[in-house]
Structure 1
Amino acid sequence: MFIVLLVLILLFTFGPALVAVVSQLIAEGLGCQVDLHHVIPCVIGGHDYGQMFYDLGFLIWYSYLTLPIGGALLALWAVAAAVTFVISRKHRPAKEPSC
């Protein structure tokens, strides 16, 4: 359960930045320019994807919200994982010494 929560926290925290960076890399790989000041046309297969890359690039600004919130969630996750680990260690039966 803790691994699933950790993955979800990391996706929430870094998701917007990852989407923005990956979309930038895809656009540049297809020979398009992306600028956050204005939409630059990006014609691929007869369709203009400039607005889409522009909008996806703006997701980077959501990182100003998700990074601090994700950091707090990660700290709570670490405390809960540590408490669970300590409690589970106390409730384990002691091993008998072997000869």
Structure 2
Amino acid sequence: MIRRRRTLLISIVLLISLAPAISMFWASWFAERHDCVLHEGYVNPCIVGGKDWGETLYTAFVMGWLMMLTLPVAATILLVLTLKAAFNLIRRVIRR
């Protein structure tokens, strides 16, 4: 039970840490797919299906700056998990 909670907690932290990257990639993909101009300078209109997505795309794209804080957290978690898995593997090999 404790392992499941720990795994769930780690998954949630990783997802939150990667959310700015995901939002930035989504905004870039959406803007490119609909031939909209997207950059960090200011909001550009992007009319898709009668709705202006410009503000949403701009906000999602600028969230990429938050990656400077969250990606090191995600990288640290992944490093710790990799080291833990390596130590567990070594321990299993030694026991056999």
Normalising by structure 1, we get a TM-score of 0.71
Match of 2:87 in 1: 83
Query: Equivalences for 1:37-48 in 2 at 5 Å?
Result: 37-48=41-52
Give the aligned residue type for 1:73. Answer: I
- Once the 2 structures are TM-superposed, how far is the Cα of residue 29 of structure 1 from its aligned partner? 1.6
Unaligned runs of 5+ in 1: 93-99
Unaligned runs of 5+ in 2: none
Preserved contact between residue 14 and residue 63 of structure 1 (Cα < 8 Å): yes
Q: Distance in 1 between matches of 2:79 and 2:16?
A: 14
Structure showing greater radius of gyration is: 1
Match of 1:22 in 2: 26
Preserved contact between residue 13 and residue 71 of structure 1 (Cα < 8 Å): no
Closer, same or farther in 2 for the Cα pair 1:13/1:31, shift >3 Å? same
Give the aligned residue type for 2:75. Answer: G
Q: Tell me the matched-pair count.
A: 89
- Once the 2 structures are TM-superposed, how far is the Cα of residue 16 of structure 1 from its aligned partner? 2.0
1:61 aligns with 2:61: no
Preserved contact between residue 39 and residue 54 of structure 1 (Cα < 8 Å): yes
Closer, same or farther in 2 for the Cα pair 1:17/1:44, shift >3 Å? same
Q: Distance in 1 between matches of 2:16 and 2:75?
A: 10
What is the aligned-residue identity percentage? 28
Preserved contact between residue 24 and residue 34 of structure 1 (Cα < 8 Å): yes
Q: CA RMSD in A?
A: 2.6
Worse-matched range after superposition: 51-60 or 23-32: 23-32
Relative to total residues, which structure has the larger helix share, 1 or 2? 2
Normalising by structure 2, we get a TM-score of 0.73
